[in-house]
Amino acid sequence: MSLESSFENILKLKEVEGFALVSGEDGSIIKSGGITPGNIDEIVAFIGSAAEIITEACGVEEIKSIKGVGMRNVVIIPYEDKFIGFVLGENRCGVENDIINLLIQEEIKGDSRVYKLLVAKVSQLNKLLEEFAKDSDESMWHNYINKGLGVLDKEKKFTELINLNNVRLEVFGAKGLIGEDVNRFMKLLLDFVVKKAISEFGNDEARKRVHAVIKSIGKKDG
């Protein structure tokens, strides 16, 4: 999870004035930003720890967030062995859900470099799929690509990260992936798609369409 980019995005919410990332072990501040009170570490650590104790003692479900309302409105979110506290300038109902959703979005993105690599590879493949599906049976291509995603992703690393919409792939994130995973899987998927194009159009036509896409990508990159 990229906490740096998460905090940057969350601070853009008009209700959020500042944040503090606090150790769950000793209550020390790991990182803070924006406008926060001087005792933010004590507030976040105390309330976060108290919530954990209440959760265990009462046998209730895991608490996703705690909201304290007073002179300073604070939302506290447990994360791994830490607590993240956000100071709110406005006491708007539901802002904690917006914060949690932004944290989840950043978490599923994973390593930013790997995410960008996957987006780039998928974008190139989408151009090829668009060319192959042109004047062809889109439902056939959809079913074929969907089959490829299931067959080639044996370890299910990409199941929740890539979605197929008609004949277009959409990337949600790259959580848990490294560059080697992306390169290997996308090469397998590319070969899978090209083989189908050859069987549908023949070698010459398939090659012609591939070259058209390469030319198109080259122009944009240039």
- Tens of pLDDT, residue by residue over 133-184, are 988 899 999 999 999 999 999 999 999 899 999 999 999 999 899 999 999 9
Of the candidates 209, 214, 217, 126, the residue with the CA atom closest to the CA atom of residue 168: 126
**Given this model, what pLDDT does residue 1 score?**
45
pLDDT of residue 98: 83
For the chain, counts of helices (H) and of strands (E): 7, 7
Check pLDDT > 80 for residue 67.
Answer: no
Residue 193 has a pLDDT of 95
| Token output for 196 | 């189908």
> Cα separation of 158 and 170, whole Å?
11
What pLDDT score does 77 carry?
83
* pTM assigned to the model: 0.65
183 Cβ neighbours under 8 A, 6+ residues apart = 117, 121
